[in-house]
Structure 1
Amino acid sequence: MAHIESFFGLVGDLTWGWSLIPILVILGVFITMATGFVQFEFFGRMFRVLTRGPEDGNKISAREALLVSIGGRVGGGNIAGVAVAITLGGPGAVFWMWAIALVGMATSLVECSLAQLFKRADDDGDYRGGPALAIIHGLGSNYRWLAIVYAVCLLAAFGVGFVAFQGNTVAAAANDSLGIDRWYTGGFLAVLTGFIVYGGIHRIAKAADIVVPIMAFGYIGLSLVVIVMNAGEIPAVLSSIFANAFGLEEAVGGGMGAAIAQGLRRGLFSNEAGLGSAPNVAATAEVRHPISQGITQAFSVFIDTIIICSCTAFVILLGDVYQPGAEDVNGVALTQQSLVAHLGDWTQYFLTGAVLLFAFSSIIYNYYLGENAMAVLWKSPIGIHLLRIGVVGVVLLGAVAPSATSVFFFSDPMMGVLALVNLMVIMMLFPVAMRILNDFRKQLKAGVERPVLNIEDFPDLDLDPKAWPKRS
């Protein structure tokens, strides 16, 4: 067992420790420049998804796909991860989280547009896609082995490991704050998870449509109360963020270097841009053009980091609990104690509820990623059925095992390999992404309010006519 752990530790060091973050940053900057800063060009269009429903009521709408992906991106990283970044990197880490999010919006737009482009319609008329199908239908059958590597990593990291982590997070929060036994929480969570996942993507989307707005608007609303109460301190906080980000002030050992490292790392973990997870959900939506869903998913990155992570950062930096250089209070405890200092003891229970909702939305999101991986590895309905049973069991196991993180030690390394595969695919298919982006721009320039993908214009691409029916 020790040898296995050492192997995965080495894989984790070679990905997250040496290569992955620099590649994500460099690729994000390249995509931003090569696309002409596309995330800013279409920023105004992002908000349209909040009010527009599907043209077919039986399909997953762009807004539902957005909420499912937000439910997956938004999690412990937005509450605990931001606190860790500030503790280890100082206030300047917040600036670099913002920077990587703005760059990551372009990466997310491209990867999710490609997932949409190469999606497939199943027998029920639902859509399924993601990097694995982009590999098979975009790069060709000779690269099927790469799609299998991707699917195995996706299933192991998200469908198993991270599901257990989220179950553990929920049970720990309920036990610490409310004194509820882990078995009760785990049992309830397992039953609820089973009910949602056995409804397939439609029930997952409907659950996200309810849970995500409640958790997001509730947390943002409470944070805005804190910000308004301390409005006079905001200029000083912003000054501290920028001064620390560029080494003009030093809040922690390592100065500007620590701020950059922590901000980039925590930002990438939080918004998942380029990691190859969100495209699986993006492909389920019914849209007229792939770029439309890419724009929507770029908006998801903006909501996750620029809005929700910033809420946590301001709650911490506007209070007195955080002391630069001190590491005795960090993680979720720092966020919790900061809220209590601002608004009173009752907020610790509110934060527990927020953690519960964040974690549950991540569980159903991670399950769907596992289902999408299973559809590549084993197309039989039996495989999906076994996965659903397994996920329910893993939720319970993760909830009752205090050392769940050590049991599922393989998750982060597998996600590292997953991300590297996804980044290779993005680069190999980037010319295709530019073709459909230029097609989208061309239609807008011609006065078309809602551009439509006509697959006849791309006869050399292996596209599914059922997934892209001809529109008038």
Structure 2
Amino acid sequence: MPEFLSFINDILWGSVMIYLLLGAGVWFTWRTGYIQFRYLRHFRKSLQRSVSPQPDGLTSFQALCTSLAARVGSGNLAGVAIAITAGGPGAIFWMWMSAIIGMASSFAECSLAQLYKERDANGQFRGGPAWYMSRGLGMRWMGVMFSIFLLIAYGLIFNVVQANSVSKALHFAFNLPGYVTGLALMALTLLIIVRGLRGVAKLMQWMVPVMALTWVAASVLISLWHLNEIPAIIETIFRSAFGWQEAASGAVGYTISQALTAGFQRGMFSNEAGMGSTPNAAAAAASWPPHPAAQGIVQMIGVLIDTLVICTATAIVVLLAGNESTHATVNGIQLVQKAMMNFAGGWGAEFVAVIVMLFAFTSIVANYIYAENNLIYLRMNTPRNVWLLRGITLLMIMLGTLLSVSVVWQFADIIMALMAITNLTAILLLSPVVRIIASDYLRQRKLGVKPVFDPARYPEIERQLAAGSWDDVPRQ
């Protein structure tokens, strides 16, 4: 089985996914007028009204933190270490590239999710890839297929990966048995997910910034402590990215293919750009200004924060620890713990264990919210099915803390690729709509007025929208 899964992964990530991610990212970069480079300054304006609760949706800040909760998980720690182990330091460069290019894909998918959102029975905005596949493309079968992929990924596999990283980290630092970690995670997760989307969003809006800033601050302190070594680390990343790193002095030489594949795999697992997960949070926001592009810009920042800030913080810690840590027989979260122990002694492993517990916990909670959202799309969100999903989520957490999951990472990569292929196909087909959204937003910004989306300007799009989704937006 591992050999078969490895073969499938080689096909998907060795060719299909690399070209699709690069192609989609470059395409949307061009179609949106290089929006990730030119219009990041609008991020602050798009977060206005983010403190005051909105009656019909989450604030933009809550939606950003909820999406970051799903993004910022063990992939930002264990995933980065695995990328370095598999592809060398150059994998970090390709993680950066996947983020920079992926920002345009993230803008596209999140803007579409905002555009095609609809209200649920409680008046809360809902949406995501399944909705824009159904409404924008008229392909409900495609939305059903995507929802099933997402339920498998976020209800099952990804939670196993997250829980396993926590279990390994706590066992390494505190010698804590896996079942104790599993029971604690199950109890905390159940306590939060029963509060629903709004309850989760309220928790994430303060918890995510605190935990992310704590980890980044620790990396910055270590970097300042070893400031003279940073230029050499940066040079190593760039040289290794293009296969220029010599296999000298015991160092391992890596090919461009190894670095690129590892970087894009772990980069997507971390920032999720183009995978179709983040739009589930983006659609739930009552975007301000009232324009789909505003939430697209906010979610682009999530990709930037996740990969260029948090993942880089992890990479610096691991690479500064030297060859002994980066090429140790262990990998994943224990590699990060060993690296931190080089700088802080025994408590370094404990610090990493606490951080990964927070990262993984928030990811598990957000993963469940995404899965439940797609139950709504499938019209299966009866109380019985919701509790069944909760039970399966908790079971996967316990299994993750008890089992060895090297094969699960391969399953995660495969299901992640299937989600991304389906979603990227949809947003590429909807690229004319993405161009309209971006052009309409930028046109109004250039005129110096607050961007407001008026569906009446685009009759073909207006016919596809859910009744009432944009009725309360003032017309131009």
> Considering the TM-score relative to the shorter chain, is it more than 0.5?
yes
Contact preservation (8 Å) 1:275, 1:418: yes
How do residues 366-385 of structure 1 correspond to structure 2 at under 5 angstroms?
A: 366-382=367-383, 383-385=385-387
Q: Please list every run of 5 or more consecutive structure 1 residues that lacks an aligned counterpart in the other structure.
A: none
Alpha carbons of structure 1 residues 144 and 356: separation in structure 2 relative to 1, 3 Å = same
Identify which range, 23-32 or 259-268, moves more after superposition: 259-268
Identify which range, 358-367 or 385-394, moves more after superposition: 385-394
Alpha carbons of structure 1 residues 403 and 468: separation in structure 2 relative to 1, 3 Å = same
Contact preservation (8 Å) 2:46, 2:294: no
Which of 99, 118, 140 lines up with 1:101 in the alignment? Answer: 99
Q: Name the CA distance, whole Å, in 2 between partners of 1:408 and 1:32.
A: 30
The aligned counterpart of 2:149 is 153
Q: Name the CA distance, whole Å, in 2 between partners of 1:10 and 1:97.
A: 22
Q: Name the CA distance, whole Å, in 1 between partners of 2:443 and 2:421.
A: 32
Q: Name the CA distance, whole Å, in 2 between partners of 1:434 and 1:34.
A: 6
Q: Which amino acid aligns with 2:308?
A: I
Distance apart, 1:257 and its partner CA: 3.4
Is residue 249 of structure 1 aligned with residue 245 of structure 2? yes
The aligned counterpart of 1:208 is 204
Q: Which amino acid aligns with 1:392?
A: L
The aligned counterpart of 1:361 is 362
Q: Name the CA distance, whole Å, in 2 between partners of 1:438 and 1:126.
A: 28
Distance apart, 1:134 and its partner CA: 0.3
The aligned counterpart of 1:266 is 266
Alpha carbons of structure 1 residues 6 and 57: separation in structure 2 relative to 1, 3 Å = same
- SS of 1:378's equivalent in the other structure is coil
Is residue 44 of structure 1 aligned with residue 41 of structure 2? yes
The aligned counterpart of 2:316 is 314
Structure 1 residues 340-367: Cα deviation after superposition (integer angstroms, max 9, x where no partner): 2123321111100011011101101110
Identify which range, 171-180 or 299-308, moves more after superposition: 171-180
Q: Which amino acid aligns with 2:329?
A: D
Q: How many residues align?
A: 464
Identify which range, 279-288 or 332-341, moves more after superposition: 332-341
Contact preservation (8 Å) 2:32, 2:435: yes
How do residues 288-367 of structure 1 correspond to structure 2 at under 5 angstroms?
A: 288-322=290-324, 326-367=327-368
- SS of 1:139's equivalent in the other structure is coil
Alpha carbons of structure 1 residues 74 and 133: separation in structure 2 relative to 1, 3 Å = same
Contact preservation (8 Å) 2:243, 2:253: no
Is residue 25 of structure 1 aligned with residue 22 of structure 2? yes
Alpha carbons of structure 1 residues 131 and 396: separation in structure 2 relative to 1, 3 Å = same
- SS of 1:460's equivalent in the other structure is helix
Contact preservation (8 Å) 1:274, 1:423: yes
Contact preservation (8 Å) 1:151, 1:377: yes
Distance apart, 1:306 and its partner CA: 0.3
Is residue 275 of structure 1 aligned with residue 271 of structure 2? no
Alpha carbons of structure 1 residues 367 and 261: separation in structure 2 relative to 1, 3 Å = same
Q: Name the CA distance, whole Å, in 1 between partners of 2:47 and 2:455.
A: 27
Which of 166, 170, 173 lines up with 2:169 in the alignment? Answer: 173
Q: Name the CA distance, whole Å, in 2 between partners of 1:49 and 1:237.
A: 36
Alpha carbons of structure 1 residues 330 and 31: separation in structure 2 relative to 1, 3 Å = same
The aligned counterpart of 1:394 is 396
How do residues 71-110 of structure 1 correspond to structure 2 at under 5 angstroms?
A: 71-110=69-108
- SS of 2:420's equivalent in the other structure is helix
Q: Name the CA distance, whole Å, in 2 between partners of 1:185 and 1:248.
A: 43
Q: Name the CA distance, whole Å, in 1 between partners of 2:47 and 2:231.
A: 31
RMSD after superposition:
2.4
- SS of 2:459's equivalent in the other structure is coil
Q: Name the CA distance, whole Å, in 2 between partners of 1:162 and 1:372.
A: 16
Structure 1 residues 19-65: Cα deviation after superposition (integer angstroms, max 9, x where no partner): 12221112112211232211011112224556641665333111111
Is residue 433 of structure 1 aligned with residue 429 of structure 2? no
Contact preservation (8 Å) 2:14, 2:261: no
Q: Name the CA distance, whole Å, in 1 between partners of 2:370 and 2:234.
A: 37
Q: Name the CA distance, whole Å, in 1 between partners of 2:83 and 2:390.
A: 35
Q: Which amino acid aligns with 1:151?
A: S
Alpha carbons of structure 1 residues 410 and 93: separation in structure 2 relative to 1, 3 Å = closer
Q: Name the CA distance, whole Å, in 1 between partners of 2:268 and 2:11.
A: 17
Q: Name the CA distance, whole Å, in 2 between partners of 1:87 and 1:8.
A: 19
Contact preservation (8 Å) 2:107, 2:300: yes
Distance apart, 1:269 and its partner CA: 2.2
The aligned counterpart of 1:284 is 284
Q: Name the CA distance, whole Å, in 2 between partners of 1:103 and 1:90.
A: 21
- SS of 2:21's equivalent in the other structure is helix
Q: Please list every run of 5 or more consecutive structure 2 residues that lacks an aligned counterpart in the other structure.
A: none
Identify which range, 120-129 or 161-170, moves more after superposition: 161-170
Q: Name the CA distance, whole Å, in 1 between partners of 2:195 and 2:213.
A: 26
The aligned counterpart of 1:240 is 236
Q: Name the CA distance, whole Å, in 1 between partners of 2:255 and 2:12.
A: 24
Q: Name the CA distance, whole Å, in 2 between partners of 1:88 and 1:403.
A: 19
Alpha carbons of structure 1 residues 19 and 337: separation in structure 2 relative to 1, 3 Å = same
- SS of 2:176's equivalent in the other structure is coil
Distance apart, 1:408 and its partner CA: 9.2
Alpha carbons of structure 1 residues 389 and 334: separation in structure 2 relative to 1, 3 Å = closer
The aligned counterpart of 1:192 is 188
Alpha carbons of structure 1 residues 45 and 407: separation in structure 2 relative to 1, 3 Å = closer
Q: Name the CA distance, whole Å, in 2 between partners of 1:404 and 1:240.
A: 31
